[in-house]
Amino acid sequence: MQTGSIGVKTENIFPVIKKFLYSENEIFLREIVSNAVDATNKLKTLASAGEFQGELGDLTIKVEIDKQKKTLTIRDNGIGMTSEEVDKYINQIAFSGATEFVEKFKTQTEAEAANIIGHFGLGFYSSFMVSNKVALITKSFRQTEEEKGVIWECDGSPEYTMNEIPKGTRGTDVILYISDDCEDFLEESKIRELLNKYCKFLSVPIQFGTKTVNEPIEGETDENGNQKTKSVEKPWIINDVAPLWKKSPSSIEDKEYDDFYHVLYPMNFETPLFHIHLNVDYPFNLTGILYFPKIKNRYEFQRNKIQLYCNEVFVTDSVEGILPEFLSMLHGVIDSPDIPLNVSRSFLQNDQNVKKISGYITKKVAEKLEELFKKDRAEYEKKWDDISVFIQYGMIADPKFFERAEKFMLFKDTDGKYYTIEEYKKLIEEKQKNKDNKLVYLYATDADEQYNNIENAKSKGYNVLLMDGILDSHLMSTFEQKFGDCSFARVDSASIDKLIEKEGDAKESKLNDEQKENIKKVFEEVIDKTSFNVEFSNLGEDDAPVEVIQNEWMRRMKDMSAMNGMSMWGTMPDSYTLMLNANNPVVAGLSDRSEEEQKDTIKKLYDLARLSKNLLKGKELNEFVKNSFEVMKK
């Protein structure tokens, strides 16, 4: 019998493991099963190198619960360990056998070497997060059948015991004596859930329990000629040892990609729009499949749907900070041995390999979108409403993605026609420039509500974009900052002539300054001065007498604040300008009327202007309707 203290410099390593190494105690199962997979893959490597001559046999890893003994066991038939190796790899936490193992097999490729690196060391000690005692029973593949194995036991203190124990076969059993406060890990449903979460695509079969299946009875049919079957208990293998992302893209049919999507997201019945298969081995190793999902609700972003793996071991589905935020709207799988497994998210965010991987994926996504656009523009335009939020998000958040997306980002006008950025510039550059020589992008946020303004603009030869998405306010500001030679104006934010006023367009007023001041005073007596201020403009006689205008910048700030959940602008009261057209006969004629007639006309103009913007409501709207009926009676 051997006793001793685990080779650690701190008095007790386990509180450190529990507090800092892992954020959730359920991660222990991932670590122990991953160790078993690594031990099995090491044996395969030794066999292929000719250093193991025996039969590999059944390499299935078994996970077993014993509620009576309160144990959870993970059993493999892998490489196993001698007592010297247990002492070296388990008792001396700071030393890992992985480096030595890879050094021995330098002839293997870098990717192959990465796949056989074990996690014995700190990963093994995650078992103490849920256990008050851990036993390890192991026997090396180098030992004969007659030789004994070794049992190592530890109760969570630095003290351990090691003894010889009869063990007929090679491999390792890790037995966790589950602590009272973690008894949920003795429930079959809980363990199955965790195995499905963390181990679903590991490369060695993992058995947990059995399941009943119906098998045909050879040569037997019922009276209707149907094949007879019998119920049989079979081992329940919980994982797919050859996940789709590890296969060559050229060997995979589109239907297989769609089917795999539903394996990843069984509750999502929508078929994804398209996919990107990632497969690169230099300057880092990365495989994976990313899907563009259909966004059902443009006001709800389904983030954190990408599953992050390291050598088929699930790490997290919260990639925020690891990948650019806009990429987190995609679905799918990313797998890379260059992403550290046992570290915090903050470490991942600053890891150089992770940054390179993030940049590569961003580039591949942009390339795929450009390829789809060039290959079949008509089909791409059909998908635009589903993918526009994602592309806009990327352009707003990532300057490099903006530059790439300029080639495939589309504007959509109120007639349902699509234009690239360059195409749209050419379309409007002749007519839609103001006196500062800036391009004016006219847009509508509600085609029905702003119908009259849209038609007015179109009658003058202008084009109007439909920008009714939640990110459009942000996108407009990004465009204005990026290009500098353009401005966006909502089609109802002022009269069209004012929005696209050119040098020499200014008209003379039919009212002098004194007349304007007198009319303004009467208006201010009638209107709500807390929400409206009065100004004059000199437009054409046929232009509207009064228009309600909301400051473009202020409205945009309020829209963006509302989306971001900020209160600085969102809680500010709405303020409007009541723009009076001094050249319209109705307004110009006010100066010749009595004060009572002025107030009556002004009240009607005020109500009509607010009604056109859906600002006349409640009691005032009811009175307006009644008064209108009275006028009709007369």
User: What pLDDT, on a 0 to 100 scale, did the predictor assign at position 32?
Assistant: 94
In the chain, the amino acid numbered 295 is: I
Q: Could you give the 3-state DSSP secondary structure of residue 469?
A: coil
Q: In residues, how long is the chain?
A: 634
DSSP 145: T
- For 394-431, letters b (16+ CB in 10 Å) and e give bbbebeebbebbeebbbbbbbeeebbbbeebbeebeee
Task: Give residues with Cβ within 8 angstroms of 530, minimum separation 6.
Answer: 573
In the chain, the amino acid numbered 465 is: L
pTM of the model: 0.74
Sketch out the chain's domains with CATH numbers: 2-208 (3.30.565.10), 244-383 (3.30.230.80), 409-499 (3.40.50.11260), 513-633 (1.20.120.790)
Q: Give me 301's structure tokens.
A: 């972003």
DSSP 505: -
- Residue 348's H or E segment, with its range, is helix 345-350
Whole-angstrom distance, CA of residue 155 vs CA of residue 176: 10
In the chain, the amino acid numbered 449 is: E
Which stretch of 267-271, 369-373, 376-380 has the lowest confidence by average pLDDT? Answer: 267-271
The sheet carrying 465-466 orders its strands as: 465-466, 439-444, 486-490
DSSP 195: H
CA dihedral 432, 435, 439, 442 (to 10 degrees): -60
User: What digits encode the pLDDT tens for the residues 154-196?
Assistant: 987 778 899 999 999 999 999 999 999 899 999 999 999 999 9
User: What pLDDT, on a 0 to 100 scale, did the predictor assign at position 449?
Assistant: 84
449, 451, 533, 607, 617 from 612: Cα distances, Å: 9, 10, 17, 9, 11
pLDDT higher than 60, residue 60: yes
* Region 59-78 average pLDDT: 97
pLDDT higher than 80, residue 584: yes
User: What digits encode the pLDDT tens for the residues 395-425?
Assistant: 998 999 999 999 999 999 999 999 999 999 9
Whole-angstrom distance, CA of residue 429 vs CA of residue 427: 6
User: Mean of the per-residue pLDDT values for the chain?
Assistant: 82
Give the angle subtended at the CA of 119 by the CAs of 117 and 124, to the nearest 5°: 165
Provide DSSP, 61-125: EEEEEETTTTEEEEEE-SS---HHHHIIIII-TT--HHHHHHHHTTTS-HHHHHHT---TTTTGG
User: What digits encode the pLDDT tens for the residues 280-301?
Assistant: 888 888 999 999 987 755 545 5
Provide DSSP, 388-413: HHHHHHHHHH-HHHHHHHTTT-EEEB
User: What pLDDT, on a 0 to 100 scale, did the predictor assign at position 576?
Assistant: 79
Say how far residue 290 (Cα) sits from the centre of its chain. Answer: 11
DSSP 156: S
User: What digits encode the pLDDT tens for the residues 476-489?
Assistant: 889 988 888 888 98
User: What pLDDT, on a 0 to 100 scale, did the predictor assign at position 572?
Assistant: 53
* Paired sense of beta strands 313-316 and 71-76, if any: unpaired
